[in-house]
């Protein structure tokens, strides 16, 4: 009888332990056959230190995963393990081919203007390198996010991290029905299509409670002015909890690390 009780206890313990995965900060890769993009799209997963099916986790979606996923997953893994933020699942979204495909994924039109205010002709931004944002958004919201919620134990609390074009994307979707409770927008390309992001936001009665962490740097002046126009529009909306940081001494790329670190501490408590 004692042996039987001991065996039952061991089996019960093993069952309980099987629901709790000790993660050593590895990257898990998945593919989705996207009907919206008409192609196979890969995404990358990082789980928190103690991942358990019996618990639910917020999810952080990272655009430009080719450059940003490893940085973010390590920060999130460490901060979560040390109880500085909620333990979170990180999902990296690469863009297949950076030179053209990234721009096509993250923009919704073809711009006739550049980041410094210069006008460009119709060959500069075209169907091959821009304007596919709605298809990518459908992939993100109708395929990728539901897939993550099916496969992993989530809270349905989603954060989106976007920089540059990704920041423009994060701003643009405020004019769409979107699932994100938190959006990080770093030095966004609000200049694209002569600040269509701002124009769309101003025409929408935005009533979704959203935390936005927006950072930017001052060069060039045209770029800065468009972002500050967007900030004023966001500040006028009572349903947006906005934090803003101007990095006077940083560049377009160097502000990313501190933007994420400070932003995630404020928005993922």
| Average pLDDT value over all residues in the chain | 91
What pTM, to 2 d.p., does this model score?
0.91
Band (pLDDT 50/70/90 cuts) for residue 111 is very high
The yes-or-no verdict on residue 14 having pLDDT over 70 is no
- Give the model's pLDDT for residue 12: 37
Asked if residue 66 lies in contact with residue 60, where contact means CB atoms within 8 angstroms, the answer is no
- The mean per-residue pLDDT over the stretch 40-58 comes to 94
Long-range contacts of 38-44 (CB under 8 A, 24+ apart): 39/96, 41/96, 41/139, 41/144, 42/94, 43/91, 43/92, 43/93, 43/94, 43/144, 44/69, 44/91, 44/92, 44/94
Rounded to whole angstroms, the Cα distance separating 187 from 254 reads 10
Strand-by-strand arrangement of the 180-186 sheet: 28-34, 39-46, 89-93, 57-63, 154-163, 180-186, 210-216, 240-246
The yes-or-no verdict on residue 8 having pLDDT over 90 is no
Q: Is 65 exposed, middle or buried (CB count within 10 Å of its CB: 0-12, 13-18, 19+)?
A: buried
- Give the model's pLDDT for residue 80: 94
CA of residue 131 relative to chain centroid, distance: 19
Q: Which helix (H) or strand (E) holds 11?
A: helix 2-18
Residues 92-101 pLDDT 10s: 999 877 777 9
Rounded to whole angstroms, the Cα distance separating 260 from 162 reads 10
- Give the model's pLDDT for residue 122: 84
Cis omega (within 30 of 0) for bond into 220: yes
The yes-or-no verdict on residue 16 having pLDDT over 50 is no
Asked if residue 23 lies in contact with residue 45, where contact means CB atoms within 8 angstroms, the answer is no
* Structural domains of the chain in order of their starting residue, each with its CATH number: 22-267 (3.40.50.1820)
118 — phi, psi (to 5°)? -65, 140
Residue ranges with strand state E in the chain: 20-22, 28-34, 39-46, 50-52, 57-63, 89-93, 154-163, 180-186, 210-216, 240-246
- Give the model's pLDDT for residue 100: 77
- Give the model's pLDDT for residue 50: 85
Residues 118-174 pLDDT 10s: 999 988 999 999 999 999 999 999 999 999 999 999 998 999 999 999 999 999 999
- Give the model's pLDDT for residue 114: 95
Q: Is 58 helix (H, G, I), strand (E, B) or coil?
A: strand
Inter-axis angle of helices 196-203 and 165-172, to 10 degrees? 20
Give the closest residue to 167 by CA, choosing from 181, 145, 183: 183
- Give the model's pLDDT for residue 103: 95
């Amino acid at each position: 009888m004692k042996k039987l009780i001991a065996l039952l206890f061991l089996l019960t313990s093993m069952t309980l332990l099987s629901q709790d995965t000790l993660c050593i900060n590895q990257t898990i890769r998945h593919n989705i056959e996207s009907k919206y993009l008409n192609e196979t799209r890969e995404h990358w997963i990082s789980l928190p230190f103690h991942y358990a099916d019996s618990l639910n986790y917020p999810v952080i979606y990272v655009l430009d995963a080719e450059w940003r996923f490893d940085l973010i997953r390590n920060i999130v893994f460490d901060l979560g393990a040390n109880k500085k933020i909620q333990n979170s699942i990180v999902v990296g979204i690469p863009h297949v081919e950076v030179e053209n495909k990234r721009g096509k994924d993250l923009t919704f039109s073809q711009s006739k203007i550049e980041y410094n205010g210069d006008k460009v002709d119709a060959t500069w931004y075209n169907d091959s390198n821009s304007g596919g944002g709605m298809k990518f958004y459908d992939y993100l919201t109708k395929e990728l996010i539901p897939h993550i919620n099916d496969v992993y134990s989530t809270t349905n609390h989603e954060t989106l991290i976007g920089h540059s074009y990704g920041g423009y994307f994060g701003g643009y979707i405020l004019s769409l029905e979107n699932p994100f409770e938190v959006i990080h927008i770093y030095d966004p390309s609000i200049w694209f299509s002569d600040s269509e992001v701002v124009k769309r936001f101003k025409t929408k009665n935005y009533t979704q409670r959203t935390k936005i962490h927006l950072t930017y740097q001052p060069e060039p002046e045209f770029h800065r002015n468009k972002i500050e126009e967007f900030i004023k529009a966001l500040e006028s909306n009572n349903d947006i909890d906005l934090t803003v940081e101007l990095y006077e001494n940083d560049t377009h790329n160097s502000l990313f690390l501190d933007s994420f670190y400070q932003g995630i501490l404020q928005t993922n408590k």
